[in-house]
């Protein structure tokens, strides 16, 4: 049997890089995509590792990425939509262009890339689309409106896709990480202070920035990206994968309490924590 071909976006660091290494170690052919070539060159260290420069928001680069893979491999068995970031700050203060950019990366670019792989998967009668969401797609926190909105949207889009593509043998799966040791937190924290570090939301922003430092610091709850990579691989290999995989344990616990608590009580604990 021919080796399976995997495309991973946001493969330059964090979850994307950990997933790429995991699949390569298991004998898959892996194409990693990101915007920075220097951060993708690690893929050259593996026999079946390849990289493609791509900004997921650019149509020409998306088309080139898929065409390049299909020209060489003739198929894409698994698409892992991992690229994303957090545009944090008060809804009132985040510029509209930044809010739109958040959706361009976290939702629209992802959906357009996905649309390019669906026909070849449908032709082959199989395929897996694994979307890296977040527990932020099920919960909310102050000063995270646009990020949460993008992930809530991704959850809904994925649920619809899962049912639309079922009859073609294509499985759509969501991964919902909690706090993970990646550069995501640094980007989110910088956006938070940039957008709301002064003015009426300054007190909230400063408190949340401190909490981020605690969560993602040396003694925080943030887990190694390998935990997520293992969940992604499990979803790719399972004969009957679940619709959602929440990782690590604290993510499952948070989602459980969100399910258990009424909105008013959840709001109370969220505002107390942040």
Q: Residues with catalytic annotation?
A: 147
Give backbone dihedrals phi and psi of 244, rounded to 5 degrees, phi first. Answer: -140, 145
Q: Which residues is 172 bridged to in the sheet? A: 129
Angle at 142 between CA 84 and CA 217, to 5 degrees: 65
Of 114, 191, 203, residue with least CA distance to 145: 191
Is residue 255 within a helix (H) or strand (E), and if so which, with residue range?
helix 249-260
């Amino acid at each position: 049997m021919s080796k399976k071909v995997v495309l991973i976006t946001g493969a330059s660091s964090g979850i994307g890089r950990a997933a790429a290494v995991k699949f390569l170690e298991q004998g898959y052919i892996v194409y990693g995509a990101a915007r920075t070539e220097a951060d993708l060159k690690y893929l050259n260290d593996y026999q079946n590792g390849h990289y493609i420069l791509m900004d997921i928001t650019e149509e020409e680069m998306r088309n080139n990425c898929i065409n390049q893979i299909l020209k060489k491999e003739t198929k894409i068995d698994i698409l892992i939509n991992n690229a994303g970031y957090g545009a944090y700050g008060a809804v009132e203060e985040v510029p509209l262009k930044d809010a739109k950019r958040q959706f361009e990366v976290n939702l629209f670019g992802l959906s357009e890339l996905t649309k390019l792989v669906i026909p070849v998967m449908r032709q082959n009668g199989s395929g897996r689309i694994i979307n890296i969401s977040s527990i932020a797609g099920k919960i909310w926190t102050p000063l995270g409106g646009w990020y949460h909105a993008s992930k809530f949207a991704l959850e809904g889009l994925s649920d619809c896709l899962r049912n639309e593509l079922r009859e073609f043998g294509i499985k759509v799966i969501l991964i919902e990480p909690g706090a993970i040791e990646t550069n995501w937190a640094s980007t989110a924290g910088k956006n938070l202070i940039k957008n709301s570090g002064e003015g009426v939301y300054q007190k909230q922003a400063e408190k949340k920035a401190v909490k981020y430092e605690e969560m993602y610091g040396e003694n925080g709850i943030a887990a190694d990206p390998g935990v997520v990579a293992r969940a992604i691989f499990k979803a790719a290999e399972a004969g009957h994968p679940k619709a959602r995989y929440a990782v690590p344990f604290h993510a499952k616990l948070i989602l459980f309490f969100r399910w258990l608590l009424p909105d008013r009580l959840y709001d109370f604990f969220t505002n107390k924590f942040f």
